[in-house]
Structure 1
Amino acid sequence: MVNDIDTTKQTRADEVRAFIARTPLAQEMGLRCEVMGDEMTMIMPYQEKLIGNFMIKAIHGGAIAAFLELTSQAQVFLVTEHLERPPRPINLTIDYLRQGHAKDLYARAEITKMGRRMCSVRAEAWQDERAKPVTTLMAHFMVSGD
């Protein structure tokens, strides 16, 4: 029985990795994910093309927002077994808290409420310390097949 659960989680983690690998934006941004059970950390490696302000070497806010949206979708997809494809976004709220410096960015998402049709997700991106997020996201996603 435990092996079946472990196999299911591993299969779902592989499906999440495949989702990231086949998403053009994730490919362009070089995203990768590390999955441990039902927790996932997404990584956006630093690339010069992600810089929005060359004067201060700051990562573009749109790149960070897309990174957090993809992280949130992947987390919902990871823990929601009935979904055959990633969830569809309903709305997103982004809070830019600090400058994203020219270095790797990390993100995690947490499902705050799961319903039959939609779910609420909170995500944060950080660089040096998780306790000092660069950007946060609150989002709602459609999780029903309707």
Structure 2
Amino acid sequence: MIADTPYARMLGIASIASEPGTVGLMMPATTQLEGRQGFLYGGVIASLLELACLEAITQERDSDGPRPKPINISFDFLRGGLMVETFAQARLSRVGRHVVNADAICWQAGRDRPIATGRMHLLLDQGRGR
């Protein structure tokens, strides 16, 4: 589970119940995560989105196997993230033989008012070149 990694633990991220076919994560606001006064640092919002996408892939595949390698990651910041609990939900939009595409959304007060979205394209390890 991605929420058990040292980086996710440092951010305080925990897995939460989510809709079928998606994964959910929650990150509490702490002073260590503050960017400009009263707002979360954009990097931790991006990390929450990335970790949600990776968690979706981990649940789809053998979690003991090698991690997929990022090809492209894109984040859209829609509004400032306040210093409150922040949530992310990710789903796999396509699982191919070599590439996985994942989408994520991040919100605070309500899922209908996202603060950021993210997309990841990852190369699946085919067991070559190890």
> Does TM, scored on the shorter chain, surpass 0.5?
yes
SS in 2 for 1:59: coil
Match of 1:46 in 2: 29
Q: Which protein shows a greater Rg?
A: 1
Tell me whether 1:78 sits opposite 2:62 in the alignment: no
**Greater shift after overlay, 77-86 or 90-99?**
77-86
Is the contact between residue 83 and residue 143 of structure 1 (CA under 8 Å) also seen in structure 2? no
Change in Cα spacing, 1:127 to 1:42, as seen in structure 2 (3 Å) is same
Gap regions ≥5 residues in structure 1 = 1-15
For residues 50-76 of structure 1, give each alpha carbon's deviation from its aligned partner in whole angstroms, at most 9, with x where no partner exists. 11001xx01000111111111100111
CA RMSD of aligned residues (A): 1.8
Rounded to whole Å, the distance in 1 between the matches of 2:76 and 2:90 is 14
Match of 2:48 among 55, 67, 75: 67
Match of 2:87 in 1: 106
Partner AA of 2:3 in structure 1: I
Gap regions ≥5 residues in structure 2 = none
Normalised by the length of structure 1, the TM-score is: 0.79
SS in 2 for 1:64: helix
Point out which structure has higher relative CO (alpha carbons under 8 A, 6+ apart): 2
Is the contact between residue 38 and residue 78 of structure 1 (CA under 8 Å) also seen in structure 2? no
Is the contact between residue 20 and residue 32 of structure 1 (CA under 8 Å) also seen in structure 2? yes
Shift of 1:83: 6.3
Shift of 1:82: 7.7
Partner AA of 1:68 in structure 2: L
Normalised by the length of structure 2, the TM-score is: 0.88
Task: State the identity %.
Answer: 27
The structure with the greater share of residues assigned to helix is 1
